[in-house]
Amino acid sequence: MLFLRLRITINIAHIDSYEHLQKIIDVRFPKCLHIADKHFSVIHEHLPIGQGDLDFHKIFSNYLKSYNGKIIFEVVMDVDDEIIKSKEIIQNIVNQV
């Protein structure tokens, strides 16, 4: 019998709620995060961090505490400053928790 080692990437901008995030993590803790902000009322949105409804401090404090994996930003903007600012915000949060 062949056993595969499943790794999961969570796309934070696609969660419907924090409970939805917890259900995904209960299946398998991620090795990789795909990060963008979003409004919960929008199905598919990729905003710079801090411009949507997601509380990333809550996410990293309560659900992804001690996360030590890869983070990929999917911030759809033409302005590099927004992408750099998003990265700095997430780095500060991860370093605090």
Report if residue 4 sits inside a domain. Answer: no
Q: Which domain holds residue 86?
A: 9-96
Report if residue 87 sits inside a domain. Answer: yes
Side chain identity, residue 31: K
The number of domains in the chain is: 1
| Sequence-ordered list of residues with C-beta below 8 angstroms from that of 6, at least 6 positions apart, any chain | 28
Report if residue 21 sits inside a domain. Answer: yes
φ, ψ for residue 48, nearest 5 deg = -60, 150
Instruction: Check whether 1 has a pLDDT greater than 80.
Output: no
Q: Specify the pLDDT at position 89.
A: 94
Report if residue 26 sits inside a domain. Answer: yes
Report if residue 53 sits inside a domain. Answer: yes
pTM, entire model: 0.84
Q: Specify the pLDDT at position 3.
A: 58
Report if residue 35 sits inside a domain. Answer: yes
Report if residue 63 sits inside a domain. Answer: yes
